[in-house]
């Protein structure tokens, strides 16, 4: 796909319809962090997906806006950590999304941290975390699609993931089980 094809914004109606339809696709919320020679940065993302559990290392991807300082830092540091937030961490999400003031102007003051295996900080109490080495990155329109080769993984339970849907935060509510084939 030629990048030039993506340089022209879609027609207003198509963009509006895209945002509306995407607001119905529920997501988990993660804070992607990095640290290293290019500095320490973090950004809230909903665009995070598993790519593959197999191969030399499990692989995931995140999409980060090209104007976010975290994107350039991840590309330069060559590593990042995906911190999957639990449903009581919406304030951490807001801090790393630039929503509202943070103590001392430092987003990192919004959470407690532990060092990660690739240099990127982990949120103490995140529901799950993935330490990644940057495997590949591609600019697609306004965003960098960043592929991470997972080097270390952790989970902390019990807890439920923070969800983002219908332009607001939520938590999963299990439906009654239905019998297969019923
Ligand atoms: C729930 C939620 C999900 C978001 N998902 C993304 C995303 O997937 N990618 C992205 O680039 N920005 C996403 N944002 C917006 C960024 O977090 C925000 O624009 C950014 O942090 C601004 O600060 P920065 O420019 O210093 O990075 C999301 C924001 C929220 C609240």
pLDDT in tens, 36-60: 999 999 999 999 999 999 999 999 9
The candidate with the shortest Cα–Cα distance to 137, out of 73, 58, 89, 82, is: 73
pLDDT in tens, 83-113: 999 999 999 999 999 998 898 999 999 999 9
- For 154, the token pair is 């952790």
pLDDT at 2 over 80: no
Identify whether 10 is preceded by a cis peptide bond (ω within 30 of 0): no
**Is residue 117 a part of any domain in this protein?**
yes
Sign of CA dihedral 121, 127, 132, 137: negative
CA–centroid distance, 13 to ligand 1, in Å, is 23
User: How many domains, the chain?
Assistant: 1
**Is residue 14 a part of any domain in this protein?**
no
The residue to which tokens 């999957």 are assigned: 84
**Is residue 32 a part of any domain in this protein?**
yes
Identify the residues whose C-beta falls under 6 Å from ligand 1: 29, 43-47, 63-65, 68-70, 93, 96-98, 164
Residue 5: predicted pLDDT: 61
Residue 6: predicted pLDDT: 66
Residue 129: CATH number of its domain: 2.30.110.10
| pTM for this prediction | 0.93
**Is residue 177 a part of any domain in this protein?**
no
**Is residue 119 a part of any domain in this protein?**
yes
Q: What is the pLDDT confidence band of residue 141, given thresholds at 50, 70 and 90?
A: very high
**Is residue 172 a part of any domain in this protein?**
no
d(CA 79, CA 77): 5
Which range among 68-72, 74-78, 117-121, 155-159 shows the weakest confidence by mean pLDDT? 155-159
Domain that holds residue 146: 26-164
CA–centroid distance, 182 to ligand 1, in Å, is 42
Task: Tell the residue nearest (CA) to atom 21 of ligand 1.
Answer: 97
**Is residue 7 a part of any domain in this protein?**
no
What mean pLDDT is predicted for residues 163-172? 98
Cα torsion through 144, 125, 59, 9, rounded to 10: -20
- For 31, the token pair is 């804070």
**Is residue 180 a part of any domain in this protein?**
no
3-state secondary structure the chain: CCHHHHCCCCCHHHHHHHHHHHHCCCEECEEEEECCCCCCEEEEECCEEEEECCCCCCEEEEEEECCCHHHHHHHHHCEEEEEECECCCHHHHHHHCCCCCCHHHCHHHHCCEECCCCCCCEECCCCEEEEEEEEEEEEECCEEEEEEEEEEEEECCCCCECEEECCEEECCCCCCCCCCCC
Ligand 1 closest atom vs CA 143: 11
Q: What is the mean pLDDT of the chain?
A: 94
Give the whole-number percent of the chain exceeding pLDDT 70: 94
Residue 181: predicted pLDDT: 60
CA–centroid distance, 178 to ligand 1, in Å, is 36
What mean pLDDT is predicted for residues 11-29? 95
Greatest extent of the chain over all pairs of C-alpha atoms, in Å = 57
């Amino acid at each position: 796909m030629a990048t030039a094809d993506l340089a022209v914004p879609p027609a207003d109606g198509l963009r509006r319809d895209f945002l509306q339809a995407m607001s119905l696709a529920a997501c988990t919320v993660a804070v992607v962090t990095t640290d290293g020679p290019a500095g320490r940065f973090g950004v809230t993302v909903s665009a995070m997906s598993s790519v593959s559990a197999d191969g030399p290392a499990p692989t995931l991807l995140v999409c980060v806006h090209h104007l976010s300082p975290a994107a350039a830092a991840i590309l330069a540091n060559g590593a990042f950590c995906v911190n999957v937030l639990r449903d009581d961490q919406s304030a951490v999400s807001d801090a790393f999304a630039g929503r509202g003031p943070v103590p001392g102007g430092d987003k990192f003051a919004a959470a407690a941290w532990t060092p990660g295996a690739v240099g990127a900080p982990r949120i103490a109490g995140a529901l799950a975390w993935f330490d990644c080495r940057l495997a590949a990155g591609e600019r697609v329109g306004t965003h960098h699609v960043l592929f991470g080769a997972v080097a270390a993984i952790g989970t902390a339970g019990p807890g439920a993931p923070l969800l983002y849907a219908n332009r607001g935060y939520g938590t999963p509510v299990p439906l009654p089980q239905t019998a297969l084939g019923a």
